[in-house]
């Protein structure tokens, strides 16, 4: 690798959505996202199946370990850290969850990393709910701790749909630049709006696929018809608009939930779930990205991932 590569540590790397976006060098919906000058020298996640997918797609292998037990002094020195720290406790889907549980405090592993390694820059990602939990106290607490590590912090709610991704996914992006570096980060300008967004039909080759396992039963359809009108159920997607946010429980998608599904035939009352590859496309993974052999694992990994195209724009602006 040339000397001028920016050396990166990827914490909570998952299957590698953020890492793919950071590296670039892939095509999505006919557009080439050029290679960016980053080199991943360390990646870690505690999900062995996500690590299997990661290692099938990247040159530098991720390690499967409990990050709380890692001595960061043993990790290579890096210029930059990226990390989508686990977000289940910050979700808006279940706002009653304890935000002081062990998972909520995993951001402290990022604090520990910053204290130990002092990279020049870092990019973190989390769910929209992080901004509103406890009336904003949680995000302020996290920003304060990152600042105390010696960084100037900026954060923003980023909409995937504004970067050519056919999904209404919103994520909080936190960027830190070490205080001794005389730079300030500017978030990327959006390239489209919700009104002229990439529609779902761009990533769905055909509705009436042959594999019957993706179709909902007539019993499931009848259950939704019998449900109360005020329930958010049977959320079939308009192919001419972006999709609702995909979640990590795609393998358990039901018609009786808030999950996005597809209407195949209104007269026949045929509905189906997304295939893993369709879900990956909705998240902006190129078709060259290898999915896990287990569909259930694939769905979880895809739903948890940072959309690579979104990360590419964020990382490119750091280079700028």
Q: What is the DSSP letter of 320?
A: -
H or E stretch including 156? strand 151-159
What does the longest C-alpha to C-alpha distance in the chain come to? 64
The C-alpha atoms of residue 86 and residue 84 are separated, in whole angstroms, by 6
Query: Which residues, including other chains, have CB under 8 Å from residue 159's CB and lie 6 or more apart?
Result: 168, 169, 170, 190, 194
- Asked if residue 309 lies in contact with residue 299, where contact means CB atoms within 8 angstroms, the answer is no
Q: Which residue has the tokens 């808030």?
A: 258
Please return the burial class of 247, using the count of CB atoms within 10 Å of its CB with bins 0-12, 13-18 and 19+: buried
Q: Which residues are catalytic?
A: 87
């Amino acid at each position: 690798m040339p000397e001028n590569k920016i050396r990166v540590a990827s914490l909570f790397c998952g299957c590698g959505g953020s890492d793919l976006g950071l590296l670039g060098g892939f095509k999505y919906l006919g557009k080439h996202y050029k290679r960016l000058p980053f080199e991943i020298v360390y990646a870690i996640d505690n999900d062995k199946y996500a690590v299997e997918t990661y290692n099938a797609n990247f040159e530098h292998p991720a390690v499967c370990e409990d990050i709380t037990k890692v001595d960061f002094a043993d990790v290579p020195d890096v210029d930059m850290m990226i990390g989508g720290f686990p977000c289940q406790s910050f979700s808006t889907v279940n706002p009653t969850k304890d935000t002081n549980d062990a998972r909520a405090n995993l951001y402290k592993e990022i604090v520990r990393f910053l204290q130990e390694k002092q990279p020049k820059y870092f990019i973190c990602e989390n769910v929209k709910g992080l901004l509103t939990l406890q009336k904003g106290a949680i995000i302020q607490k996290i920003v304060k701790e990152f600042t105390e590590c010696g960084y100037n912090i900026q954060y923003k709610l980023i909409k995937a749909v504004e970067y050519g991704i056919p999904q209404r996914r919103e994520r909080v992006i936190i960027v830190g630049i070490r205080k001794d570096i005389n730079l300030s980060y500017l978030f990327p300008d959006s390239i489209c709006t919700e009104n002229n967004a990439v529609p779902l039909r761009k990533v769905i080759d055909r509705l009436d696929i042959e594999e019957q396992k993706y179709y909902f039963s007539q019993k499931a359809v009848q259950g939704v018809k019998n449900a109360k009108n005020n329930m958010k159920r049977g959320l079939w997607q308009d192919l001419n608009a972006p999709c609702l946010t995909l979640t990590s429980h795609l393998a358990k998608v039901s018609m009786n939930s808030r999950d996005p599904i597809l209407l195949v035939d209104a007269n026949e009352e045929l509905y189906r779930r997304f295939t893993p590859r369709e879900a990956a496309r909705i998240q902006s993974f190129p078709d060259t990205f290898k999915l896990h052999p287990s569909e259930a694992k694939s769905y979880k990994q895809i739903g948890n991932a940072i959309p690579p195209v979104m990360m590419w724009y964020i990382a490119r602006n750091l280079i700028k």
